[in-house]
Amino acid sequence: MFSVLIDQFWSLTIAGVALGFIYVLVSLGYTMVYGVLRMINFANSEIFMWGTFGTIVTSRDIFGYTQTSAPATGGKLALVLISQLLMSMAVAGVTAIFVEYVAYRRLRAKGTNRLATLISAIGISIVLSELMRLLTDSRPVGSPRVLEKIILTEVWGANIRLDTVVTIFAAALIYFLLERFVKLSRMGKAIRAVSMNEDAAKLMGVNLNRVITTTFLVGGLATGAAGFFYITVFEYTKFNIGFTMGMAAFTAAVLGGIGNIRGAFFGGLFLGLLEVYASAVLGTQWKAVTVFIVLVLVLLFKPNGLFGEAVQTTRA
Amino acid sequence: MKIRNYWNLRDFGASIWENAGRPMRVAIVLISILLVGLLPFMGGSFLATPIASFDAVLVYPVGMFVLMSLGLNIVVGKSGMLDLGYVAFFAIGAYTMAILGTTTKLNTWEIMPIGIAFAMIAGVLLGIPTLRLRGDYLAIVTLGFGEIVRLVVLNSTWSKGPNGIANIPMPPHFGPLKFELENQRLFFWVVMAMILLTIWMIRRLTVRRPGRAWEAIRQDEDAAELMGVHTLKYKIWSFTLGAAVGGAAGVLYASKNLYIAPEMFTLNVSILILACVVFGGIGNIWGVIIGATILGYLPDRIRFISDARLLVFGLVLVIVMNFRPDGLLPRKKREKAIVKKGANA
Amino acid sequence: MAKIGKTLLKLDNVTMKFGGVTALNGVNLEVKEGEILALIGPNGAGKTTVFNVITGVYKQTSGIVNFDGISLGNQKRYQVTALGVARTFQNIRLWGDMTALENVITATDVHKKSGLVGALFGLPRARREEAENRERAMEILRFIGIDEYSDRLAKNLPYGVQRRLEIARALGTSPKLVLLDEPAAGFNPAEKVELAATIKKVRDAGYTVLLIEHDMSLIMGISDRVVVLDFGTKIADDIPSVVQNDPRVIEAYLGVPADAS
C-alpha cells in the first residue's frame, strides 16, 4: 500500500505541488470574498468551471486547434497560452461579478438574513452549472493539446514535465501579483479595511459596493487562472467538475485560515500534496472523502486554520 | 381592508380554521384527506402527465417531494439551519431497504423503523460535531456529507458499487390491497399517511417546548443560549428528526422503485428539495406542501421543464430569495390576538 | 426594603484580554443577595464585558467567577442561566417573530424537565409544564406591567415595552441574579422614573440586581452600592453618596457632569 508512496514519492510531490497551486488560486476566490462579506461564495466552484471552458474555447474555437493538431511551439505557443489564460480569467471574472450582482447585491441592500443569501448563492451556482450542462449536453469536453508535455529532466527518478513546470511557476507568479495588489494598491487597502472593520471603513469613505465587486472580480480572476492551469495539466473539463474542486479549494482556504490570503497559499499547497499522497495510498476514488474528513477535522479542532491568525470575531 | 384579507391565502385559510368549531375542523380535515386520497383517480383529466403515468407521478416526485420537504423544513425552516446534504438520509434509508430487503426475510414495514433509525444515527453522528459550526460552514459540511455518502456507496462492494441493487421487494399486500408497479395508488396512500404523520409530528412539536426552542435558535441563537436553551441539543433533535423523515422516504422509495443506484442520490436531490421548501415558504408547512406539489408536478406536466428541471429549480432559489424571500405562503406571523383586540376596541 | 444577605456572586481578580487589549484588569466584585448593585463607568470601561464574562459569552483570561458557591468557569452559557443568572441586552435582542408571551415562556422552559417525546405524545408532565409555563409567564408580564401586550409580536412592540419585555424574559428563567444592561437607554425622564420603580419592585420580589446604567440620578435613587470601572479597572466601590464625591470617579468622568446621561 505504502510502497507506491515511497517509490513514486518525488513525482507525486511534484504533481502535488502543481495541484496545490491550482488549489491556492481557487481558494483565493473563497478567501477574498469571505474576507469582506464573512460569507462563503458558493458559486466559486462554478466560476472555476466556466473558466476551464474559457480556456478550451480559446484554443479550440479561436485558434482552431483540434485533438489531432500538433502542439504549438515558440512564439505561437506563448501567444496561445497567454490568450487562454487571459480568456479564462476574463470569463471567470465576468461570471464572478455576475454572481455578486445577481445573488448577493440585492439581498445585501435589503439587509436580509444570512440564510436567504446562502440560498440565493446556491441557486446561482446551480444555474451556472446547469446552464453549462445544457450547453454541452452533459458531455465531457476534451482540450486540444497546445503545450506539449515534454519531459524536461529527471530528478530523483521523477519526470519533470513542461506543463507542470509552467503551472507551478506561472501560478506562483499570479499568486504573488495578487498578494501585492491586495497589500499595496489603494483598492487592495480598501478591501483589507473592509475585511477588518466594515463600519469603520464605510465611515472612512470607502465605497462598499465597489470594494465588494472588486473583491469578487479579483477572486474570480484568481479562480479563472486556476481554470487555465487545470486544463493545461488535466486537458479535460465537464459541467460538474466544480463540485470536487470547490470542496477541495474551500478546505484549503479553511486550512489556511479563511479570509487570510497567505493562509490560502499554505492551505492550497498542503492540501494538494495531501491529496496526491492519499490517492496513492488509498486509491483515487477516496480522494474526495479524504478532503472532506480533513475539512471536518479542521473545522472542529482548528476553526481558524492551521496557519492563519484568527479571523472570526466572537459574537456577543 | 377586509377584501384585501381574502387575497391573502394564508390568512384566509387561517381565518376559516380559527372560526370553525371542533366538529367543523374534524370535517374539514376528513374531507381534505378524502379529496387528496381520490387524486390518483384523476389521471384521465387535464392533470394527466405525458411521460409517466399520473398515479406514479403522484408518488414520485410529488408525494415524495412533499414528504422530504416537510422533513427538510424541520431543519431549514423551523430552526434555521441550512442542510445541503439531505439526500444522504434519503440514501441511507433507501440502501437500508435495498440491502435488508434483498438479503433478509424482513418486509418493507419491518425495515422501515430500521431505516429510520440508521438515518437518525447518521444525523446524530454528523450533527454532534458540525452543528456547533456557524451557518455557512454547516451548509458546506452537509453539502460534503451528502456527496460522501454517495461516494461511499459508489465505491463499496456491499452496496454493489455503481451497479446498484436490483430486485428489491415490494411491500407486502394489505389484505386485498396489493402493491403493484402498474397501479401505484396504494403507494400514494402510504406516502399520504406518512405525510400526515409528519404534519402531526411537526404541529405537535411546534406549539410546545421544542418548537419554541427552535424558533428562538432560528431568530437569535446567542440570545437563546443565554436564556437557557440547550441550543446544541435542540439543533441535533431538529437535524435528526429531519433525517428520520428523509430515511423513511428512502425506504419507501427503494421499495417502490425496486432498484436503486448511487446516481439517484446526487447533490441535485438536496437542491430540488431545498427549492421546494424555499418556493412554498420556508417554515410554513402548508406553503412547503404547496411548493413541493407544484415543483414536483410541473416538470412532469410540461415537457420542456423536465429537461431543464434543475436549472428551473436553481432560478427558483435565486428569484424567490431576491423578490419574495418568504415564498408563496409566508411563515405564520401568529398575531391573531391583536386582530381580536382591535375589533373590540 | 429587602434584607441584604450573603455574597451571591463573586469575581475574584478577573482579567479579560482580547489579543493585545485588556478589557478587564484584575477586577474584584461582590454582589450580595438582595441588593441592587450598579456598575458604572465611561464608555469602553468594560462594563458589558463583565456581564459577558459572568454569563459565559467570554471565557476570562484569568481569575475566578463564583456564583452561589459554584465556579462558573466551566459552565456552558445555558447552564449558567439554569444556575440562576439571567440578563438583558444593551441592544435589545428579543425574538422578534414570537409574541411577548412566547418570549417569556421560552425563558421559563429552562427549569422544566419534559422534552421532545413528552411534547410529541402530549404526555401528562409535558401538558402540565406547558400550562405552568404559560401561567408563570403571564404572571411575570403582569408583574412588569406589560400583560396587555402579551399576544403582540415582540418586533411590533413600542420601544419602551421591548425594554421591559427584556426584563420580563430574564425573570422568566427564575434567576437569583438579574443582570440589566442599560435598561433605561433611550428612555425619557418619566419612563426612567417608572423603570426605577420597576427595578426596585424586582428586587423587593426577591431577585438580586446587577445593573449597568449611565443615568446617574437613576442609579443614585435606587442602588444600594455602586462600583465604578475605568479602563477595565475597578476604581471605586461604595454607597452612592460616597462614590458620587470620589475624586477618582469625578476624574474618570471628567467633563461629564454627574447628572448628565
Q: What's phi and psi for A38, nearest 5 deg?
A: 55, 40
CB contacts of A250 in chain B (<8 Å) are 140
Contact between A38 and A216 (Cβ < 8 Å): no
**Interval A187-244: pLDDT, tens:** 888 888 888 877 788 778 888 888 889 999 999 999 999 999 999 999 889 998 998 8
Tell me which amino acid residue C38 is: A
Q: Mean pLDDT, consecutive 10-residue segments, chain A of 316 residues?
A: 76 90 93 86 94 91 82 85 93 95 87 82 92 90 83 77 87 90 83 81 82 92 94 91 91 87 90 91 84 84 68 34
What does the domain layout of chain B look like in residue ranges?
58-266
**Interval C44-79: pLDDT, tens:** 888 999 999 999 999 999 999 999 989 988 889 999
CA atoms within 13 A on the CB side of A67: 4
Residues 6+ apart with CB under 8 A from C239: C224, C225, C226
Tens-binned pLDDT, residue by residue, of chain B (345 aa): 444 444 566 677 777 777 778 888 888 888 888 888 888 877 777 777 777 788 888 888 899 999 999 999 999 999 999 999 999 999 999 999 999 999 999 999 999 999 999 999 999 998 988 888 877 888 888 988 998 899 899 998 998 989 999 999 999 887 777 787 777 888 999 999 999 999 999 999 988 899 999 999 999 999 999 999 999 999 999 999 999 999 999 999 999 999 999 999 988 889 889 989 988 888 889 999 999 999 888 888 877 777 788 888 889 889 988 888 888 887 766 554 433 333 333
CA atoms within 13 A on the CB side of A269: 14
Of C107, C114, C130, the CB nearest to B227: C107
d(C-alpha A41, C-alpha B42), whole Å:
45
Q: A30 to chain B nearest CA, in Å?
A: 12
Q: Mutation test of the interface with chain C: which of B124, B200, B227, choosing the one with the most C Cβ atoms within 10 A?
A: B227
Check A299 against B133: CB less than 8 A apart: yes
Q: What's phi and psi for C145, nearest 5 deg?
A: 85, 30
**Interval A98-124: pLDDT, tens:** 999 999 888 888 877 778 888 899 899
Rounded to a whole number of angstroms, the distance between the first and last alpha carbons of chain C is 27
- Candidates B60, B63, B89, B91; CA nearest to B74 is B89
Check C152 against B210: CB less than 8 A apart: no
User: What DSSP string describes A158-192?
Assistant: EEEEHHHHHHHHHHHHHHHHHHHHHHHSHHHHHHH
Pick the CATH number of A2-301 from 1.10.3470, 1.10.1760, 1.20.1260, 1.20.5: 1.10.3470
Q: Cell digits for C233?
A: 479597572
The confidence score (pLDDT) of residue A316 equals 27
Three-state SS annotation for chain C: CCCCCCEEEEEEEEEEEECCEEEEEEEEEEEECCCEEEEECCCCCCHHHHHHHHCCCCCCCEEEEEECCEECCCCCHHHHHHHCEEECCCCCCCCCCCEHHHHHHHHHHHHCCCCHHHHHHCCHHHHHHHHHHHHHHHHHHHHHCCHHHCCCEHHHCCHHHHHHHHHHHHHHCCCCEEEEECCCCCCCHHHHHHHHHHHHHHHHCCCEEEEECCCHHHHHHHCCEEEEEECCEEEEEECHHHHHCCHHHHHHCCCCCCCCC
Any chains having at least 3 CB pairs less than 8 A from chain A are B, C
- Candidates A127, A68, A72; CA nearest to A103 is A127
Of B76, B129, B155, the CB nearest to A296: B129
Tens-binned pLDDT, residue by residue, of chain C (261 aa): 456 788 999 999 999 998 788 899 999 999 999 999 999 988 888 899 999 999 999 999 999 999 998 998 888 999 999 999 999 999 999 999 899 999 999 999 998 888 888 888 888 888 899 999 999 999 999 999 999 999 999 999 999 999 999 999 999 999 999 999 999 989 999 999 999 999 999 999 999 999 999 888 888 889 999 999 998 999 989 998 898 888 888 888 755 554 544
Containing H/E element for B264? none
ipTM over cut 0.85: yes
Residues 6+ apart with CB under 8 A from A312: A303, A304
The confidence score (pLDDT) of residue B345 equals 31
d(C-alpha C209, C-alpha A150), whole Å:
78
Q: In terms of CA atoms, which chain C residue is nearest residue B198?
A: C120
Q: B332 to chain C nearest CA, in Å?
A: 9
Q: Mutation test of the interface with chain B: which of A119, A132, A240, A302, choosing the one with the most B Cβ atoms within 10 A?
A: A119
CB contacts of A114 in chain B (<8 Å) are 135-136
Write down all domains in chain C, each with its CATH number in brackets.
1-84+175-261 (3.40.50.300), 94-173 (no CATH)
d(C-alpha A273, C-alpha A280), whole Å:
11
The confidence score (pLDDT) of residue A188 equals 82
The confidence score (pLDDT) of residue B5 equals 45
Contact between A240 and B271 (Cβ < 8 Å): no
Within 10 angstroms of residue B145's Cβ, the number of other Cβ atoms is 23
- Candidates A243, A268, A242, A241; CA nearest to A254 is A268
Q: Cell digits for B286?
A: 402548508
Contact between B123 and B286 (Cβ < 8 Å): no
Rounded mean pLDDT of chain A?
86
Check A127 against B137: CB less than 8 A apart: no
The confidence score (pLDDT) of residue A225 equals 94
Residue identified by cell 499595496 is A184
Q: C170 to chain A nearest CA, in Å?
A: 17
Q: B217 CB near a chain A CB, below 8 Å?
A: no
> How buried is B177 (Cβ within 10 angstroms: 0-12 exposed, 13-18 middle, 19+ buried)?
exposed
Tell me which amino acid residue B172 is: P
What DSSP designation does B263 have?
A: G
Q: A227 to chain B nearest CA, in Å?
A: 22
Residue identified by cell 452496496 is B159
Q: A309 to chain C nearest CA, in Å?
A: 11
